[in-house]
């Protein structure tokens, strides 16, 4: 066990000890509340201290290793919920609660029934980029649970800050808006108070933050209230942290998408500049081109999501330019929006038939332009991801990696710049699937994909080349720098602990690297990197070999 792992276990043990130290007091408070209300159960409701105390224990116990205790508290909560929904508090109701409370006391006295301090979440590791941690605010009145949730999120690269009051989280969110919010539904102020404070928090922040509700409640009314409060996700306690982290990543990726990239082609520099200004104000990136003859040089460099092009330009019409663009297979799906004063329906239809995707008539309002471009760009990105990315990892698939490499080789050749290709393979992957099953193997694949995305630059291109093999394009990178980088990632990955049931294991990687200097086409570059990978596998695995020459 590493020092870091030992420190994490020590922190877990300390938290569990803190929970255990207060457990007797919590159970006594539940008993006292029941004694105070048992002779007049008609006054019981979701606002009553007895319900709130049981609800809090049901949510926290399982998280801190008291699984049976949590189940028992949940059963009491269910009896109370049935009562509040119109059942009469008869003698049977009193007997059910009394019997369950006796079991609750016994379970609390026995101590924890699962090894909380050594819990590890399969398939993930704490390797977030330093200084690039998403900020998550947590509103949870159970301080032990909030602290544990914060610590666990930190393992996944999040900066999590727990709060136990409206005032504190509101002040923090106004001062520094969170990237995401996690709020318990049931708070001391009310049964659905979390859904009431959420809109105030969203109003206090500079932008809308993804909102996740957590609760011990799984009933329809709680979920409906959360939905109406703007919930992006809803999790019941004890929390499935793996799923929560995956949801957070999806929400934050959607929230912090890369700006749409728009290439404006118009022979009028002023008009092109106007469109560019309008779109930039809408947080898009724009590139202006006044001569369509330069399109084939500009497209691989700027990689636009959309081409916004004038229909009539001297020397080459927009339709002719579109037809030339469509001659390149990689640009068959790239949206082209024509701008023109043309009012003839036939001419507009011809423009669409011969390569365009949409026709906007000049003059066009700023709002209309932004809306039309945004809708088309969003649809293009969605379809592009479905077509070019691997469903499991979100990385480029095999064929689109090769297309991307052809573009990068062409660009690097024109620029006389360096370019390196890396092939990576998971060692003994079949043994992992055979021993632990395909779901565990899938977690290993997702983990290396996640690590590569975390460690590499936005300008680098990562693909799942096939099965357990990955490929990476590193522009403007020497072969020796690439070797050092990939070897560091290999070393980091080999230290990750994966788990399956009671077993834990490590996984190694092998890598092969080749540079463009001695090769002049994409196929030769891939072949050289593959040859280096084969050598790495044949000479011991768990290493990176570079093919220089």
Residue pair 154/209 in contact by the 8 Å Cβ criterion = no
Model pLDDT for residues 191-215, shown as the tens digit of each residue: 999 999 999 998 887 567 899 999 9
* Residues in CB range of 71: below 8 A, 6 or more apart: 62
Per-residue pLDDT at 1 exceeds 60: no
Whole-model pTM above 0.75? no
What pLDDT is attached to residue 549? 61
Confidence of residue 387 (pLDDT cuts 50, 70, 90): confident
What pLDDT is attached to residue 484? 93
Confidence of residue 402 (pLDDT cuts 50, 70, 90): very high
3-state secondary structure 52-93: HHHHHHHHHHHHHCCHHHHHHHHHHHHHHHHHHCCCCCCHHH
Nearest Cα neighbor of 54 from 154, 191, 177 is 191
Per-residue pLDDT at 153 exceeds 80: no
What pLDDT is attached to residue 242? 56
Distance CA 234, CA 221 (A): 13
Per-residue pLDDT, averaged over 318-333, amounts to 89
Record the tokens describing residue 276, joined without a space. Answer: 């560019």
Among 97-101, 386-390, 434-438, the least confident range: 386-390
Per-residue pLDDT at 9 exceeds 80: no
Distance CA 170, CA 204 (A): 7
* Residues in CB range of 443: below 8 A, 6 or more apart: 122, 123, 498
What pLDDT is attached to residue 92? 80
């Amino acid at each position: 066990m590493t020092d870091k792992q030992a420190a994490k276990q020590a922190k877990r043990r300390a938290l569990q000890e803190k929970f255990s130290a207060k457990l007797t007091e919590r159970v006594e408070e539940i008993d006292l509340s029941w004694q105070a209300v048992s002779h007049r159960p008609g006054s019981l409701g979701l606002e009553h201290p007895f319900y709130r105390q049981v609800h809090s224990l049901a949510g926290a116990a399982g998280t801190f290793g008291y699984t049976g205790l949590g189940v028992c508290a949940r059963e009491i909560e269910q009896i109370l919920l049935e009562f509040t929904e119109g059942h009469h508090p008869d003698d049977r109701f009193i007997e059910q609660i009394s019997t369950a409370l006796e079991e609750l006391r016994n379970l609390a006295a026995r101590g924890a029934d699962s090894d909380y301090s050594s819990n590890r979440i399969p398939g993930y590791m704490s390797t977030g980029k330093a200084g690039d941690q998403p900020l998550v605010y947590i509103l949870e009145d159970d301080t032990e649970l909030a602290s544990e949730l914060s610590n666990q999120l930190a393992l996944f690269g999040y900066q999590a800050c727990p709060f136990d009051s409206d005032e504190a989280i509101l002040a923090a969110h106004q001062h520094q808006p969170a990237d995401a919010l996690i709020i318990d539904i049931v708070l001391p102020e009310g049964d659905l108070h979390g859904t009431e404070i959420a809109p105030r928090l969203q109003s206090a922040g500079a932008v809308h933050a993804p909102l996740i509700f957590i609760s011990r409640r799984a009933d329809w009314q709680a979920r409906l209230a959360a939905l109406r409060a703007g919930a992006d996700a809803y999790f019941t306690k004890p929390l499935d942290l793996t799923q929560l982290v995956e949801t957070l990543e999806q929400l934050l990726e959607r929230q912090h998408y890369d700006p749409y990239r728009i290439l404006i082609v118009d022979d009028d520099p002023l008009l092109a500049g106007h469109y560019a200004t309008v779109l930039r104000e809408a947080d898009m990136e724009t590139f202006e081109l006044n001569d369509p003859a330069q399109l084939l040089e500009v497209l691989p460099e700027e990689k636009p999501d959309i081409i916004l092009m004038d229909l009539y330009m001297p020397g080459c019409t927009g339709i002719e330019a579109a037809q030339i663009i469509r001659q390149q297979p990689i640009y068959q799906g790239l949206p082209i929006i024509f701008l023109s004063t043309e009012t003839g329906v036939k001419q507009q239809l011809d423009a669409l038939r011969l390569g365009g995707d949409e026709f906007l008539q000049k003059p066009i309002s700023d709002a209309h332009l932004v809306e039309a471009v945004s809708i088309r760009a969003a649809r293009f990105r969605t379809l592009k991801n479905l077509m070019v990315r691997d469903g499991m990892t979100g990385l480029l698939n095999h064929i689109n990696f090769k297309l991307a490499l052809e573009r990068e080789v062409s660009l690097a050749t024109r620029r006389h710049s360096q370019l390196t290709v890396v092939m990576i393979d998971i060692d003994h992957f079949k043994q992992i699937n055979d021993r632990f099953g395909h779901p565990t193997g899938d977690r290993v694949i997702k983990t290396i994909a996640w690590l590569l995305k975390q460690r590499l630059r936005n300008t680098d291109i990562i693909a799942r080349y096939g099965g357990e093999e990955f490929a990476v394009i590193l522009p403007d990178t020497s072969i020796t720098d690439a070797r050092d980088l990939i070897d560091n990632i290999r070393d980091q990955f080999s230290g990750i602990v994966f788990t399956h049931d009671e077993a834990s294991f490590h996984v190694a990687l092998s890598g092969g690297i080749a540079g463009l200097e001695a090769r002049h086409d994409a196929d030769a570059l891939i072949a050289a990197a593959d040859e280096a990978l084969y050598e790495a596998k044949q000479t011991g695995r768990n290493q990176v070999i570079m093919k220089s020459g």
